[in-house]
Structure 1
Amino acid sequence: MSFISELKSAFQENSNSEMAVAMEKYMRNHFIFFGIKTTERRAIFKTILKQHKEEVSRNSRKIAWDLFVKKQRELHYCAIEILMQTLKKNYIKEDIQLIEKLLITHSWWDSVDTISKFILGEYLLEFPEETTNVIERFSNSDNMWLNRSALLFQLGYKQKTNAEILFSECIKHSDSSAFFIQKAIGWALREYGKTNPELVKTFVNQTNLKPLSKKEALKNLH
């Protein structure tokens, strides 16, 4: 049995319809769930991955994509985790095409935020020369989730954060009425504020941000 077939079968066997309803409700019914909690899902995933290690490492991009286009949200999470494990320090330049497809497929905050930080962010650390073009393209897109990823890709960069890009993205989207953009601006600034609090406070005080963005940015900054 292939990795995907075995994983799907194991998830089916461990599905919980009551939990699935609650999870689907939490995600505004955008997705179908098996109803498996994160800890249990990861344990099942780890066991099956160990049995198919060679198959997955050889075909990680294709397997991840094949999982990501399936219906159940738990399979999307596994797809992301496969890429996080196998591509770190092993990205190729063309991976940006896969990253973009992942960001605009089955898009919701849970997948987009993880992909932005742990996949797009890592990719651009490996190919810093691609940052300007990629972020400009994502930022100018009509797709809100690509806009959000352009704001969030530096989460966790700390001292490596390019403040010029961060601030310019925040200004560019500061008039957005979209909740997920306003929230992303605040989150990105708050995160960088842990590294450079004074610079973030100065920026927030001198920039006309939406109240939600400002509130989120200054949370924990005194």
Structure 2
Amino acid sequence: MEFIDAVRAGLAEVGDPARAPDMQRYMKSDMPFRGVPKPARAALVRTLFAEHPFTDRAAWIAAVAELWRDAEYREERYVALDLLAHKRYAPWDGLDLLPLYEEMIVTGAWWDFVDEIAARRVGPLVLAHHDTLAPTMRDWAVDPDRWKRRTSVLCQLKARDATDTDLLADTIESTLDDPDFFLRKAIGWALREHAKTDPGWVRHFADTHALSPLSRREALRRS
């Protein structure tokens, strides 16, 4: 695909091999980096997305999937997420993309990928298709994969006053006893974000549940 070739060539051109090892170490990534800082990637994708617009939804989805699945460098997956998030293609988001998002969560398996997908991809779907996806998020909350569990907790980060507090409570309670750092951090983060809308609910939840010290500290940071 011409677009994919352009992405790979562009990342190679703007990458800094001297920075790549430090970026890989910081992210604790098995996949190598090209050494492309975020501002340079943002400038590159603006150009590439303007030069290679998609007029077909299936082709757009295929490009995202190919960038993700065949990535040799981590920045290729960042570009896949950038393509998903581009405002031009916002009308193409839909419930049928959830299996792709699930695949990206499981195979990405790290916070830099998962948090973006949870908050900006899965979250809007949960809001738009609540009756369908609330049970799915409850299922994810008890899934063996910790990144699906983290997603279930974080999927309402941007919901504000549309937050389903029953769903938030259920997903947190399902992971409450898990000692995993990323899950405990997610619980605190989700509660801290909801505290911006309903601090009383969050305080009551924190006082009536055996949160880990990390989760409680994060949840009540602004209290």
- Shorter-normalised TM range: over 0.9
SS in 2 for 1:59: helix
Hey, what does 1:68 align to over in structure 2?
68
**Count of paired positions:** 221
Contact 1:91-1:126 at 8 Å conserved across structures: no
CA distance in structure 2 between the partners assigned to 1:177 and 1:112 by the alignment: 19
Q: Is 2:33 the partner of 1:33?
A: yes
CA contact (8 A) 1:3 1:55 kept: no
Conserved? CA contact 2:138–2:170, under 8 Å: no
> Normalising by structure 1, what TM-score?
0.94
TM-superposed CA distance for 1:55, in Å, is 5.7
The more displaced of 126-135 and 178-187 is 126-135
Map 1:176-215 → 2, pairs under 5 A:
176-215=178-217
- Per the alignment, in what secondary structure is the counterpart of residue 94 of structure 1? helix
Please tell me the residue identity of whatever aligns with 1:74: E
1:136 to 123, 135, 138: 138
The equivalent of 1:17 in structure 2 is 17
Give the gaps of 5 or more residues in structure 1.
none
Per-residue CA shift, 1:11-58, capped at 9, x if unaligned? 112221121111101011332111011011110111011111036755
Deviation, structure 1 residue 141: 1.0
| Segments ≥4 residues shifted beyond 3 Å | 55-58
Alignment-derived partner of residue 4 in structure 2: 4
What residue in structure 2 maps to residue 157 of structure 1?
A: 159
Counterparts of 1:184 and 1:30, CA distance in 2: 23
Separation in structure 2 between the aligned mates of residue 91 and residue 10 of structure 1, nearest angstrom: 26
CA distance in structure 2 between the aligned counterparts of 1:14 and 1:186, rounded to whole angstroms: 37
Counterpart CA distance in 2 for 1:58 and 1:136 is 29
